[in-house]
Chain A
Amino acid sequence: MTHLLGILSIGTSALLTQQRAINVTGNNIANVNTPGYSRQRVNLETGTPTQTGIGWMSSGVTSAGIERIYDRFIGVQLNNENANLGRWEAQQGMLERVEVVFDESGGYGLNQALSEFWNAWQDLSLNPSGTTERSMVATTSQNVADAIRQKYADLETTRAEIDSAVKSGVDSVNRLVAQIADLNRKIASIEVGNTAANDYRDSRDLALNQLSEIINIQSHENSDGQVVVSVASGRPLVESGTTWALQTQINPDGHTDVFWSDLGGAEANITGQIAAGKIGGWLKVRDTHITGYQSQLDAVADGLRNQINPVHASGFGLDGTTGTDLFDNTTSGAADLRVNPDVLNDLDLIAASATAAGVPGDADQAIKIHNLRTAPTMGGTATFDTAVNTLISQVGYDVQTAKANSSHQAAMTSYLENYRESVSGVALDEEMVNLVKFEAAYNAAAKMISMADDMLDTLMNIIR
């Protein structure tokens, strides 16, 4: 092909190929800020060589394909870390709300309510028949009961909020799962023709990344280039184009559980198996942390009933009555802790005296109740005050742990994302250099064609 038209054909291949390279560079520049985009490059190859009299000669340049530059291992690692980040962020967010419920730093809270309760009994012991002192005992008892009940209800509200968060999380999972299955199909149909489905793969990686933030998944690519995604120890969500949807159901406790159902419709409760991702974090807060706090509140509430009521009931009120409970004993747990309504209606029922004869001046029973402040009433080891203080610092400790882990996890993910960016990210400087390079090559190829044109002209003029 060592003829003039051959030069034209080399020039054409150069023009087209450089133009294509500029095209890809332009696309890179356009997508510099697109999330999940991996930079692409045209693989240039020399044209098929032909045998000439003086040996093999190349026939210009061709583009062998457009390649997406990425690290296949970082995706899985990033997804795993992302699941943990999602978990700790979700845990931190919810626990911080719980922390507000137990905020004692301002001074008014359970701790203070209890202190005022004990002090009211002391005041009563100094003036056992005083109306003010009696109504203070009633009010502070009510404050303690209200505070415990209110905190329990606030925790229950947070659990309900988590329920709706889990529900919307499951919706997102199903949406992303459908998207991934759709991309699987597109990628498979494109790659049958042995061309890489770069942009769809980017989208699929991004969808997997988003999915792993919500729920922890296992994923791998099969030989067709389709990803298989499974959740909760091997239950499939996506296989090729098939999807399994997650559902939510209300459990007997009134809270939302997550179910996976197989293609036959058989359901399996996977709530306990979701360990990470936002849903994992929310469930952990709902089913471990908050229930823990609630049972501690229950213990305090039942302690008040079981420890204070008997002492109060064995004392005598101002009207000589005995056997009155201070806290309503017909209920149990923190959710329904209330002061005995009879006591609120008739302050004379408050039993300050230890004997019937001692009414109205005896205050021994008031002193006995007050002395429960320092008694090991909670399981024989802790006082009421310690139990409450322990609960509050437990909440603080849990928030602190979640904070520390989420910031550690954020640093980890950001490192991995930077690493991913360093491999796949678009660098404008680099693209500008490429642009100049390809432009120069394009110009040179054009120059070559115009030179070949000149040469053809010269050749034609010989004949004229």
Chain B
Amino acid sequence: MRINQNTMSSILVNNLRRQTQSMLQRQEQIATQKRINRPSDDPSGMSRVLEGRSSLAAITQYMENTNQGKTRLTFMEQTLGFVDELVRQAHGIAQENSDSGATSLQRSNAAEQVKGIYDMVLQFANSRFGDRYIFSGHQTHTAAFTRDSDYNATYHGDAGSFKIPVAENVEVAIDADGRNYFQDAANGGVNIFDQLRSLIEGLENPDVALGSAQIQATVDPLERADVQIANQRSQIGPKLYRLQATEEHWTNVRNTVLAAIGREENADVAQAIIELKNLETAYQSTIAAAARIIQPSLVNFLK
């Protein structure tokens, strides 16, 4: 093949262009630490990266959900713990005052104490998580219970439950129906408010013997109320555990997905640097060789 200066310079320019392009690509990889800087760098890799990012966003959200759920359950558990304590106090008062030995002063003091307990239980039953009542079903803007002056409690919520999405199409439901916690009379449980009201009535009954009987009648139900609250509390435990387990699961999956995205997307910087170094050497020798090839021409040697 007949080679002239134009051929040499055009081939040379092409080579230099290719080399600078490769160098720029490595440089970009090193600068961004990413192998895929635009979809065309690796379309199928990009698609896997995007899928990974979608999953990652969902997983992060599920983890936040479980976290919120855990906070809410813990809050509920603690609230019920306080209620349990109060019910036990009321049970103690009922036991102490069930025989007719107590003086009327003692009873009226006790009655005041039980009224306080009643209002505190009511207050706990109307607990709010954020700005939402947790024991009024879906009626989160309405206080769950109110009482009239005769200590008759009324429920204003509904049977709704609170659901926490923890995975695709999976929700952990938390019972938010206050009746199930405080007034489980329908299911053969104890209506705590009614029992406390009976206790107050018994303590305030001017007829000591009748009052004693009334008080006596609340001792057993209040003990069962204690068990009822404890049962509800113990149901929260497994749910907390389930949320905890779900969160751990998502943490593991998240790490796996992160690693997968990283493998797909991240540049092997060490390799890129070595390649850049190689390309640099090649580039420099191309330039050096070009300087030798391009310059001489017969013109320089003719006088």
Contacts and interface: CB of A to CB of B under 8 A. Distances in A.
A146 to B, nearest CB: 18
Q: What class of interface size applies to chain A in its complex with B? A: 35 or more
A414 interface: yes
A205 to B, nearest CB: 16
Contact of B137 (A107, A125, A130, A361): A361
B299 to A, nearest CB: 6
A429 B54 contact: no
Contacts, number: 178
Interface string A349-385: 0000100011111111001001101100000000001
A37 B176 CA distance: 90
B38 A421 contact: no
A367 B7 contact: no
A125 B4 contact: no
Interface stretch (A17-25, A98-106, A162-170, A265-273): A98-106
A457 B54 CA distance: 105
B50 A111 contact: yes
B171 interface: yes
Contacts of B298: 428-429, 432-433
Nearest to B300: A432
Given A103-B38, A371-B168, A422-B1, A363 B46 contact: no
A33 B9 CA distance: 11
B6 A33 contact: yes
Interface in B106-158: 130-132, 136-141, 158
A115 B165 contact: no
Interface stretch (B57-65, B84-92, B97-105, B245-253): B57-65
Interface of A is mostly: helix
Contacts of B297: 428-429, 432
Contacts of B38: 99-100, 103, 105, 396, 399
B142 to A, nearest CB: 9
Given A357-B158, A421-B10, A429-B297, A111 B47 contact: no
- Of the listed residues B7, B10, B65, B168, the one surrounded by the most CB atoms of chain A closer than 10 A to its CB is B7
Nearest to B297: A428
Given A111-B50, A392-B46, A432-B299, A127 B130 contact: yes
Given A103-B39, A403-B40, A428-B299, A414 B10 contact: yes
Given A392-B39, A426-B4, A373 B163 contact: no
A126 B50 contact: no
B2 A105 contact: no
B213 to A, nearest CB: 42
Contacts of B205: none
Given A105-B39, A362-B138, A428-B297, A423 B11 contact: no
B34 interface: yes
A125 B299 CA distance: 84
A98 to B, nearest CB: 10
B20 interface: no
B162 A361 contact: yes
B4 A425 contact: yes
B254 to A, nearest CB: 14
Q: A105, A388, A417, A432: which has the most chain B beta carbons within 10 Å? A: A105
Contacts of A125: 163, 165
B14 interface: yes
A353 B138 contact: yes
Contact of B65 (A122, A393, A414, A422): A122
A426 B299 CA distance: 14
B10 A118 contact: no
Contact of A418 (B11, B139, B160): B11
Contact of A396 (B43, B53, B54, B163): B43
Contact of B34 (A105, A370, A393, A432): A105
Interface string B279-303: 0000000000000000001110010
Contact of A122 (B7, B54, B61, B131): B61
A127 B138 contact: no
A398 B164 CA distance: 42
Question: Considering residues A111, A126, A432, which has the most beta carbons from chain B within 10 angstroms of its beta carbon?
Answer: A126
A396 B57 contact: no
A112 B160 contact: no
Given A361-B138, A422-B4, A425-B6, A400 B43 contact: yes
A427 interface: yes
Given A361-B176, A414-B10, A414-B14, A119 B160 contact: no
A360 B140 contact: yes
Interface string A419-444: 10111011111101100100000000
Given A127-B130, A395-B39, A422-B2, A436 B34 contact: no
B58 A102 contact: no
B46 A374 contact: no
A104 B171 CA distance: 31
A396 B40 contact: yes
Interface string B31-61: 0001011111111101100110110011011
B3 interface: yes
A433 B158 CA distance: 106
B232 interface: no
A449 B140 CA distance: 122
A284 B34 CA distance: 31
Nearest to A436: B302
A129 interface: yes
B47 A393 contact: yes
Interface of B: 1-7, 10-11, 14, 34, 36-44, 46-47, 50-51, 53-54, 57-58, 60-62, 64-65, 68, 130-132, 136-141, 158, 160, 162-165, 168-169, 171, 176, 297-299, 302
16 contacts: A32-B6, A116-B57, A122-B65, A127-B130, A129-B140, A361-B137, A367-B163, A370-B165, A373-B168, A390-B47, A399-B39, A425-B7, A428-B4, A428-B298, A433-B298, A436-B302
Interface of A: 32-33, 96, 99-100, 102-105, 107, 111-112, 114-116, 118-119, 122-123, 125-130, 353, 357-364, 367, 370-371, 373-374, 385-386, 388-390, 392-400, 403, 414, 417-419, 421-423, 425-430, 432-433, 436
Given A100-B38, A122-B62, A422-B3, 11 more contacts: A107-B53, A112-B57, A114-B54, A115-B58, A116-B57, A129-B141, A361-B141, A399-B40, A414-B11, A421-B6, A427-B5
Q: What 6 A-B pairs have minimum CB-CB distances, sorted nearest first?
A: A396-B39, A115-B57, A361-B138, A399-B40, A396-B43, A427-B4
